[in-house]
Structure 1
Amino acid sequence: MIGAAGPRPVTFGLAARIIGFLSVALVPLGVVAYLQTRDLGEETRARSQLSIIAVTEAAAAGERETILRALGGAQALGATAPLFKNTPEACQRYFREYLRATRDFTYAGIVDLDGRITCSSAERSFDVSGTQRFAAMMRHQRSSVNLYESASTSNSSVLIVSEPFFRNDKVAGFVSVSVPTYGLGQKELEEPASDLTELLTYNADGDVLSSHLDREEALKLLPARLDLAELADAPAHSFQARSADGVVRIFATAPLVPGLVHALSIWPKQSRAAISVENDSLARTLPFAMWAASVIVAFLAINRLVIRHIRTLGQQMRAFARTRRLPDRTTDYAMAMELRDMESDFLNMANAILQDEAQLENALREKTILLKEVHHRVKNNLQLISSIMNMQIRQSHMPETREVLLKLQERIRSLATIHRNLYQTEDLGHVNAGQLLGELIRQMAIVSEHPRSRVKLETNLDDIELYPDQAVPLSLLTAEALTNVGKYLVTGPDGAAHVRVNFRRTDERRAVIEISNSCRENAAPSDEVSGLGHRLIRAFATQLGGELEQGIENDVFTIRVEFTLTDFIPDAIDY
């Protein structure tokens, strides 16, 4: 039906499809932008890590210089001091002169392979064979740097730098040099390392050598659940971790003396160093945000320029389909020229439809009036013929002639009644067959043949809409059957004649008409076998497209016709 608005799923609407197409179209750009942003972020991260590592190395330049100088001194002593090893007094004088000349060290001595120190700048010998540090020196036999909180010679905190020396490609002993720690880590940090929290150094075993803060405070800032020895084996890098005090910080480690001493810088999370280790989620989500923004902007633009005008035009069409009222023209000058032309075409089409419908209604009204006039004139002519026949009946003196004329007059009256009911019907295209049959039964003189008999008439008529093509033969069939009933009625045991008319629907597309009357057993009327009434009833049943059934059962004669309700089928036009 025109104007019926069916369900319109939103997922198949124009807006949803545009969003889908734009999303698919912008996906390659979004992927490329994401990949480029990721690569740029990785490159920025790598450069930032190099930067913070360089800052760490620069901040620990003093510690590195001191340790390298101590290593250089130990190597120099390792090359010359063994020459005086067998003369302890000369060896002691040599080491003391060396310390006075350099002024950087507080102690120097040679550790024999048995753990004894007999040649040193001190005035006495030492035995370190039972210490863990000596066991580690003998196990690794390489350079080492260790912290002694209280040295036996100076009773102060020092760094012991040990360097092996060789004779005949074998380790002959170790030269140890003491460096005081009171000067390490005391230098004030400058830009860009001014915002770091702590800078400390540690050896390959993970022992802290120096720190700017107090040692106990510095240990609280180290990464929790992470041994510094693990960092000593890793290359220079930066990372984010939670300190032992529960605060998340940024850490950067860099080798000062590869394989021997490393520096660890500790930064607050909000510092400039955070960019080197934190994933820049904002930068990675920026391509997706730009993709979403592009889709939204494109959709809003299309919605403003196209969709809302199409929606308005659709509302106008549905309103016109429901009310048949011509909508006003849109005064929105933002509407595109193509949509404005579409709206103009729709309004012109709607105006043409209204004019065509008005013409069709006028033509239909004229045809209805003419058709009613035809039925009225046919009814008048049939009544005129009935009146002429009535005059002829009164003038006739032969009973056979009068009987024939009366039968014919009854059929003509039935036809006149049908046409009268047709022109009085509001809708000539649809006839209420139940009402039509009721009017026909009431107007027929059923008991004309039995003026002294009492007739009981029972009707059960459903309101069924029929086209005139079926309503007319149904009425004629009923009238002819009732005419025969009036001639052959028989009084029953109760002293009355019974007539029953039943018109009902058997299913959605079928109906049945039944006319029955009381009669004598095995006494079928002669006219029902081969007479005119029988032929007319059979002809009307054929026009209905039904099957005629008739017979006597239990002193009741029944005519039954079941037929299919059909739609109007116009006559074919011969062109």
Structure 2
Amino acid sequence: MAQDRLTRGLFVRLAGLMTLALFPLGAIALWQTNEVVSATVRLSEEIVLSQTERAAASERRLLERGRGAAEGLAALLGPVAGDAAQCSEMMARFVSRQDTFVFAGFIGRDGMMECTSNGVTFDFADDPSFARAIEQEGQIFEVNLSGVATGDSVVIISNPVKIDGRFAGFVSLSMPHETAKPPAAGLTEDSRFDHVTINRAGRILFSSRELSSAGGILPTDTDPTAFLERDGETFLARSIDGRERLFAIASIVPGEVVVVGSWSTGRTLNSLGATPVWVPLLFPVLMWFAGLAVAFLGLHRLVIRHIYALRRSMRQFALGQRDEPGLQLDDPPAEFEVLETSFNRMVYALTHAERQAEQDLSEKTILLREIHHRVKNNLQLIASIMNMHARAAKTPETRALLSQLQQRVRGLATVHQTLNADTDDSTVDAQSLIRRLVRELIPMADALKRDIQTTTDIAHVQLGQDQAVTLSMLAAEALTNAVKYIDAPQGQPLTLDISLTQDNAQTLTFTIINSIGQGSDRTPDMMESTGIGTRLMRAFVAQLDGEESRDETETHFTYSVTFSLTEVAPEAPKLWAQPHATG
């Protein structure tokens, strides 16, 4: 973390900016040194490209002559293509009148050459070059170190023949390699110029060397067929024979034939730029170090120390230290004076807003407590009125009904009393709520004032206010029902156990266990009661989205409800309520 902070620091970034600012000086120094090297390389490239063009000139003329002758024969072949004798006679007359060509013939689509200048029939059906020509159906250039017709090393030019618009075969002309003029000389033996002419398939047609060894002067790791798209390019590469060479490419027949010239550089180009790189960079580097020293001192004096002071004041404000004086910078620049004034104004505005928020919260708390207090008092008043009516009732049924209503109203009053205890929270403590209900409702529900041994085991669980109200109403009904039917065998105490357990993070179980007497005639009512209390309890269970269960033994009756704890959205943090830090 510290290393990351250091690399992202202002000084490091300033060093980067200084590097960028002084980079042009270093670049100019390097450029001046490199310009000589570049000029020498460009001159070498121009020489090699010129030599390549010169080497290609004679071969271009030779191939263009062959292309023209092949196209002319293809155009004249139509009337005699079907007559092998007349066709062969025409081919023989053509060869006899030319010094360039040693053979001419017509190959049909089936690969048979029955029309030849020497009268010999040949079968090229299985020849790979014929298969490539049939696939391409265009003008192609091939080489054969041992010609089928002549036995000599020849270059073969084939031109497609179309009769009545349909492809019929190829006119094939052969010219010996001796007709190609050698390239111009003039370079030393250590860096002599070589060239090779290759066709579309990457086969060598002509070379300044013997054809058998000409492939050694081509660059390694390069597909020869790719040279067709690199007309006019020059590049340095290592040739197959292991020598460093400068290559140039010139097109002879676009898309079909190119000539690749190469110059064995030896030490000529590799020795360029022998001057150490640090020599032209020495002056910019010294300026860079001097600039960094001045920048560091100025940056710390004018910027960094004021930023640290601002950070310290911001940290103190964030920790709640409001008694410290405002930000006071020591001899800051005008820009930091504006920042100082803005920060102090912001602190004043936030402090005033916090005080106003604290006052608003206090007023809201007082108002909310007053509301809960008045609701509780009104509910207790209603309960007291019901108690008065119950005492004045003429029938036991009326007194029982009013007593039940009074207990439910007191249950609601207990909830509001609990909410009144702490209105800063949006939740209710289940333990405090249920214990208060037990204290208030059991004496009221037990009209006989019996000695009931009550135990509670309530978990500390925070309930939402809606769920707390529903649970309190369910607990009030269940407690009333339990006290109503509580009994015990002769000589045994009356017991009542109330518990609220948290089974897991999201599940609660509320349980009431009361003792019963053996053979109590009220036991069926406890299990199968269909009165209003039972219906209310089931309604409250449905509101809690829970499940209830009832179980009875010889000595105890158990009522249990399992339900999910409703999540309560957390309140937004009250920044104004943070305690003031010291130190």
CA radius of gyration, larger in? 1
